[in-house]
Homo-oligomer: A and B are copies of this chain.
């Protein structure tokens, strides 16, 4: 290879150390893989490009499918919410008001009332619930909508992770009893597992958040925390036990079997597709670029003809068709780049499998298949194409999950001394420790953690862990620990 060629190659190869230079890696892969263009001229707003839209559409499809199977019905609610709706729930308005974009004019006419660009839609849904729900027979009333929401973030924005407009699903449900509402919260967590973990291959822990860190207006908040390689946490789907606060504000009542009118118990659940997509990029990517889980890969297989003659191209088309008949998304790369360049390019783009097709393969009726996850080639008989590709895809996903799970598990570290907290966090760990209380009483200890150690108490696991042995004291105040909590940094 000449020097010039080598220089060209360097430009082609995506090669950034993800663990060491995570921030640079993230910024560069978004640009290089054409996931999003940050040059749009409104701060904090992105243009999502095809490679991310194709994946996000698949993510929507899987989550919606699970929700529908569980009896949620799809709605489209207006993007605009009148100011007066927000004001009905005091805690909610206080939490969201600083983040609301306000529409004040239609054409040159000043509107009689300010309209919010929805930051979330509780106050839109529940006013309609009050019109729709009459009897216990209408319950549970399970809904969802696919929507984009808006928040005037004052913190630094980051593509996909924290934008001022993002894409999500929000699910709102009404129930007769607290018990049913609690069941729904569990179901939402199970939905998260079925999609985020089992399909998107993302490990997470669901925490019950401390009382001081709940969703504005909720009784309890549960959220799935995913870990970045720099040790920072990304909050993924959260589900909230709203109790009766909103149903009282919005008059969401039903006539029970005993003929008495009662307030509904409400729950809501919000998987943010564009942010989950960020975790997909971050958790699975490596120094060579992206690595998509099979089921949500924009293209699942790329066919690279080693020589571009008629015969090879014809065979490539034939294979493509066969794969597509089996609902596999395929691309044939017929650009005028050299095969090596094409390899690097599609590895960077994160396509799970690559089929190489040349003279040898044609002659032997074989295909060379490259696996992006283990960086290895294998040969399959052409006649076993579908069966083998399906098998490889399965192995690929299994390996992705296994690897991600193991990285995650190794990041959790028990700490019992305040002075060790910082070291552990700086080594990218999630700290497990004893803590005095997740109610109001513990808030001052949490504040110390935020201020001195720049980290947050994420909450406790759902299955009660007893603060035994070395974890029997609060890591901050040293008093008796009532909880085992997890502490981590976030953006």
- Measured CB to CB, the residues of A under 8 A from B are 37, 39-42, 45-50, 53-54, 56-57, 73-82, 85, 97-109, 114-115, 117, 124, 127-128, 131-132, 148, 150, 152, 154, 165, 167
A290 CB to nearest chain B CB (Å): 17
Also in contact, A100 and B107, with CB within 8 A (given A75-B50, A167-B76): yes
Which residue of the partner chain, among B45, B77, B154, contacts A80 with CB atoms under 8 Å? B45
Given contacts A41-B82, A107-B152, A165-B79, contact A74 B54 (CB under 8 A): yes
One complex includes copies of this chain to the number of 2
Q: How far is the CA of A129 from the CA of B77 in the complex (A)?
A: 31
Q: In the complex, are the beta carbons of B107 and A97 less than 8 A apart? A: yes
Which residue from chain B places its CB closest to the CB of A106 in the assembled complex? Answer: B152
- A105 is contacted by which of B76, B101, B109, B131 (Cβ under 8 Å)? B101
Nearest 6 A/B pairs, CB to CB: A106-B152, A48-B76, A45-B78, A50-B73, A102-B105, A98-B107
- Establish whether residues B106 and A103, one from each chain, have CB atoms under 8 Å apart when the complex forms: no
Q: Which of A37, A45, A78, A102 has the most CB of B within 10 A?
A: A78
Nearest chain B CB to A284 CB, angstrom units: 22
Q: Is the interface of A mostly helix, strand, loop or mixed?
A: mixed
| A127 near B37: Cβ-Cβ < 8 Å | no
- Are A78 and B42 in touch, CB under 8 angstroms? yes
Interchain nearest-CB distance for A204 vs B (Å)? 25
Q: In the complex, what residues of B have CB within 8 A of residue A131's CB?
A: 37, 39
Q: How far is the CA of A56 from the CA of B45 in the complex (A)?
A: 27
Contact B75 A47 (CB under 8 A): yes
Contact across chains for A78 and B47 when beta carbons are under 8 A apart: yes
Inter-subunit contact B101/A102 (CB<8 Å): no
Report 5 cross-chain contacts, Cβ distance below 8 Å, ordered by A residue: A48-B75, A78-B165, A97-B107, A101-B106, A102-B105
Query: Least Cβ distance of A80 to chain B in Å?
Result: 5
Q: Which residue in chain B gives the minimum CB-CB distance to A84?
A: B41
CB closest chain-B residue, reference A154 = B107
Known interface pairs A45-B80, A78-B165; 8 further A-B residue pairs with C-beta atoms within 8 A, sorted by A's residue number? A42-B82, A47-B75, A49-B75, A56-B76, A99-B106, A100-B107, A102-B106, A103-B117
Closest to A132 in B: B37
Contact status B74-A57, CB under 8 Å: yes
CA–CA, A56 to B74, complex, Å?
A: 11
* Chain B, Cβ-Cβ closest to A37: B128
Contact assessment for B107 and A105 in the assembled complex, using a CB-CB cutoff below 8 Å: no
Residues B41 and A77 in contact, CB atoms below 8 Å apart: no
Residue of B nearest to A64 (CB): B57
Give the chain B neighbours of A53 by CB distance below 8 A: 74-76
Q: A101-B103, A105-B101, A127-B41 are in contact. Are A79 and B148 (CB under 8 A)?
A: yes
Q: How far is the CB of A160 from chain B (nearest CB, A)?
A: 12
Does the CB pair B77–A47 fall under 8 Å? yes
**Which residues in B have their C-beta under 8 angstroms from that of A104?**
102-105
What residues of B have a CB within 8 angstroms of the CB of A82 in the complex?
Answer: 41-42
Contact B150 A79 (CB under 8 A): yes
Contacts of A81 in B (CB 8 A): 42
Chain B residues with Cβ below 8 Å from A78 are: 40, 42, 45-47, 165
A155: min CB distance to chain B, Å: 13
Which residues of the partner chain B approach A124 to less than 8 Å between Cβ atoms?
Answer: 40, 47
Q: Are A80 and B47 in contact (CB under 8 A)?
A: no
Q: Please report the C-alpha to C-alpha distance between residue A124 and residue B76 in the assembled complex, in whole angstroms.
A: 24
Distance from A474 Cβ to chain B, minimum over Cβ atoms (Å) = 36
A164 to chain B, nearest CB (A): 8
A165 with B47: CB separation less than 8 A: no
Closest chain-B Cβ to A316's Cβ sits at a distance in Å of 18
If A78-B42, A148-B79, A150-B79 touch, does A108 touch B101 (CB 8 Å cutoff)?
no
